[in-house]
Amino acid sequence: MNQNLGNLEETILLIVAVMPEEAYGYTVSEEYVKNMGNRISISAVHTVLKRLEKKGLIKSEMGGATAERGGRRKRIFKVTKTGMNTLEFIQNNRMKLWNMMPKLNFSY
């Protein structure tokens, strides 16, 4: 569980994990805009996805082609077991810290 995940990597990994439909470059970048509020270029998404795959957190397979893609096939990504574990690990650690947060604090 000693994967070092960057902020963007973690976000993209989460997006791939939660996406209901097929996750590939274009859809991931659209999902990112929808949820995070700012734009990310498709090339940046590709880079991150490739890195995540190399770390074994996601896996990919070639999907079908559509007309709007100019007949090109999609590379569809799915989160692996390790990926899921990593996400949970991060989340647990976070929760631990959150739980330590004093409940009532008037100093804000």
Partner 1 sequence: MDKPDFSQNPPKWANRFLEFYCADELLDEIQGDLLEAFFHRQTEFGRFRASLWFVWDVIRFFRPSSFSKRNWKLNANVMFKNHLLISYRSFLRQKVYASINLTGLVVGLSSCLLIILYIFNETGYDRFHPEVDQKYRVVMDMYSQGTLTNKSATVFAGVGPSLLTDYPEVESYVTISPFASGVFTTTGLSTPRVMLNQDRVIYASRNFFDYFGFELLYGNKEELLNQPFSAVIAESVAMQYFGRTDVVGEILKRQGQEEFSVMGVMKDMPSNSHMNYDIVLSLSSFDDLSEALADWSWSDFYSYVRLTEGTEAEVFNKKLESYLDRKKAAVFEQYGVRQNLWIQPVRDIHLYSDLTWEMQANGSASDVYFLGVVAALILIIAWMNFVNLSTARAVRRAREVGVRKVLGSSKRQLRYQFLTEAFLYNLVAFVLSLGLVLLFVPIIHQSAGIKLNSGLLLEPYLLMSLAVLLVAGTFISGLYPAFVLSHFGVLRAIKGGAVSMRSRLREVLVTFQFVLAITLIFGVLIVLKQLTFMKERPLGMNLEQSLVINGARVGESFDDLVNRSGVVINELAALPEVTSVAAANMIPGRENFNLTSYTSRFTTNPKSSYNLMVSASYFQNLEIELKAGRHFDPAIKTDGKTVVLNESASSLLGFSSPEEAIGEVINRGKRSERRVIGVVRDFHHRSLKEAINPIVFYFDDVGDESAYYLLKVRANDMDVTMAGIEVLWEDVFPDNPLDYFFLDEFFDQQYKSDEQFNSVFIGFAGLAVFVACLGLFGLVSYTSEQNKKQIGIRKILGASVVRVVMLLAKSYGKLILISLVIALPVGYYLMKEWLSGFAYRTNIGFDTFALGVLIISLIAFATVIVKSLQAAMGNPINALREE
Give the shortest CB-31-to-partner 1 separation in angstroms: 13
Name every residue whose Cβ is closer than 8 Å to that of residue 89 and which is 6 or more positions away in sequence: 1
Q: Report the interface residues with partner 1, using CB under 8 A.
A: 24-26, 29-30, 41-44, 46-47, 50, 62, 65-75
CB of 15 to partner 1, least distance (A): 15
Residue 28: closest CA among 66, 67, 78: 78
Rounded to an integer, what distance in angstroms lies between the CA atom of residue 76 and that of residue 97? 34
Residue closer to partner 1 by CB (options 7, 41) is 41
